């Protein structure tokens, strides 16, 4: 299982069974991040409606990984992991978990760890490369942040409509 560790001065470690396997530096203000997996540096970001990942050395318009929403209402996405198609669907709205399938079989599931500061986790089989798994973990982080922002906006809007301060 991959999980995001606690953020530090040089980014956030990506841990597998408690051991660091990568490092993620996600922006707090934009849907963007850099990741270092082994000796490879990745650039993750948002391009129009899709989330993309490319090697930092690739041209700006390149995308080795791509996640495209298919239904915002149902929370489904199509992901292309360097030629490997993966469908993403919500497994549980209450727990904020997602299921990743490819070729009709489950290849991963997301979750969370931590108490007050929840951090995403990803349990994936070995058919997905570590680079692809780190991208999916970042996508999970982005979707969790979007969900939190939507919930906060809905709560604030409800309080304002009810005459709260």
Beta-carbon contacts of 22 under 8 Å, excluding residues fewer than 6 positions away, are: 13, 14, 35, 36, 37, 38, 130, 134
Could you give the CA distance from residue 100 to residue 109 in angstroms, rounded to a whole number? Answer: 6
Q: Which two tokens stand for residue 121?
A: 């986790």
17-71 pLDDT per residue, tens: 999 999 999 998 899 999 999 999 999 999 999 999 999 999 999 999 999 999 9
Instruction: Tell me the residue length of the chain.
Output: 165
Residue 158 has a pLDDT of 52
Tokens of 123: 């349990």
**Domain definitions of the chain by residue range:** 2-150
Region class of 96: left (phi > 0), else alpha (psi between -120 and 50), else beta: left
Q: Where residue 157 falls among pLDDT bands split at 50, 70, 90?
A: low
pLDDT band at 145 (very low <50, low <70, confident <90, very high): confident
All residues at 6 or more sequence positions from 131 whose CB lies less than 8 Å from its CB, including other chains: 37, 40, 42, 65
State how far the Cα of 159 lies from the Cα of 8, in Å rounded to an integer: 35
Q: What is the pLDDT of residues 100-133, one digit of tens each?
A: 999 999 999 999 887 777 789 999 999 999 999 9
Q: Which residue has the higher pLDDT, 164 or 115?
A: 115
**Residue 145 dihedral angles phi and psi, to the nearest 5°:** -65, -40
Residue 124 DSSP one-character state: E
């Amino acid at each position: 299982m991959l999980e995001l560790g606690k953020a530090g001065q040089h980014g956030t470690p990506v841990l597998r069974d408690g051991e660091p396997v990568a490092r993620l530096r996600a922006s707090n203000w934009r849907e963007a991040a850099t990741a270092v997996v082994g000796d490879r540096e990745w650039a993750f970001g948002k391009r129009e409606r899709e989330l993309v990942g490319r090697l930092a050395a690739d041209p700006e318009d390149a995308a080795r990984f791509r996640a495209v929403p298919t239904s915002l209402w149902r929370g489904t996405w199509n992901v292309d992991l360097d030629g490997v198609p993966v469908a993403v669907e919500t497994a549980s709205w209450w727990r904020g978990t997602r299921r990743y399938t490819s070729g009709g079989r489950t290849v991963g599931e997301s979750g969370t760890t931590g108490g007050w500061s929840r951090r995403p986790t990803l349990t994936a089989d070995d058919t997905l490369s570590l680079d692809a798994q780190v991208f999916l973990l970042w996508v999970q982080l982005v979707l969790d942040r979007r969900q939190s922002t939507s919930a906060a906006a809905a709560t604030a809007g409800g309080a304002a409509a009810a005459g709260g301060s």
